[in-house]
Amino acid sequence: MLTDYAIKYVIERTGTEPITLAELTNYIKQSSGITAEDNLMNDILSATVNEAQEITYKQMNDELTVTAKVSMEDPDSDGNYIIELPYANSVITITDVTAIDWDGDTVIIESSDYTLRGNMLRFEIFSIAGYYFEITYTATITAGEQTAFKESLMAYAGYKYYNRGDERASEGVKILGTHIDRTNWI
């Protein structure tokens, strides 16, 4: 069971994009080299990847640097503080965990004070009342994992390109539906 917590995160896409501009222009049968169109398609690519990551809760770029700010109220029913970090399909390497109290004073949390299994982070310290946590980590996926999303991402980007200004929010869920991880849904 997870701890009752709130999480906000900032993502820096540091790795390779899952689709290149050349792949998208070929897929939608548009010529490249027209600056305005290339800029539009790059914007659509970026928006498509961001939306896909939010819809599927899966990582699309091969590497992300994530800074998560987490506030936890009470432990779960077993007395544990466990949070689920985005993204479940990633290999996560934690760089830094800092506890910050409401006065702004910081405490660096040592790696011996938490365990990470997959994307589940469990704090081994039990005196965390009055703190929120800033967790910085790198999330990576394999090229094979990234390739699994390519066709759906191109279809969604193509849809966004041809229907710009006339999009329905449900289309992303329909097109990306096969990649949505529903195992944690209630």
**Looking at the structure, do residues 83 and 127 belong to the same domain, yes or no?**
yes
Give the pLDDT confidence score for residue 124 in this predicted structure. Answer: 81
Which of these ranges, 70-74, 107-111, 181-185, has the smallest mean pLDDT?
Answer: 181-185
Give the pLDDT confidence score for residue 171 in this predicted structure. Answer: 64
Handedness of CA 180, 45, 87, 67 (dihedral sign): negative
Residue 90 lies in a domain: yes
Of 159, 146, 163, give the one whose Cα is nearest residue 27.
159
Averaged pLDDT for residues 164-185 = 60
DSSP β-ladder status, 91-101 and 131-140: antiparallel
Two structure tokens written together for 11: 């993502």
CB atoms within 10 A of CB 144: 7
**Looking at the structure, do residues 71 and 118 belong to the same domain, yes or no?**
yes
* Number of domains the chain is built from: 2
Residue 167 lies in a domain: yes
Whether residue 185 is predicted with pLDDT greater than 50 in this model: the reply is: no
**Looking at the structure, do residues 34 and 102 belong to the same domain, yes or no?**
no
Residue 2 lies in a domain: no
Residue 184 lies in a domain: no
| CB neighbour list of residue 72: distance below 8 Å, 6 or more residues apart | 3, 4, 5, 81, 83, 128, 132, 133
Whether residue 136 is predicted with pLDDT greater than 90 in this model: the reply is: yes
Residue whose structure tokens are 């946590």: 133
**Looking at the structure, do residues 82 and 127 belong to the same domain, yes or no?**
yes
Angle at 53 between CA 28 and CA 180, to 5 degrees: 95
Confidence category of residue 183, pLDDT binned at 50, 70, 90: very low
Averaged pLDDT for residues 146-173 = 78
Two structure tokens written together for 95: 């760089």
**Looking at the structure, do residues 44 and 113 belong to the same domain, yes or no?**
no
Distance, CA of 174 to CA of 170 (rounded, Å): 6
| Higher-pLDDT residue of 37, 165 | 37
**Looking at the structure, do residues 136 and 67 belong to the same domain, yes or no?**
yes
Residue 4 lies in a domain: no
Whether residue 35 is predicted with pLDDT greater than 60 in this model: the reply is: yes
* Structural domain boundaries enclosing 84: 63-140
Residue 72 lies in a domain: yes
**Looking at the structure, do residues 88 and 54 belong to the same domain, yes or no?**
no
| CB neighbour list of residue 80: distance below 8 Å, 6 or more residues apart | 3, 122, 123
Averaged pLDDT for residues 31-36 = 78
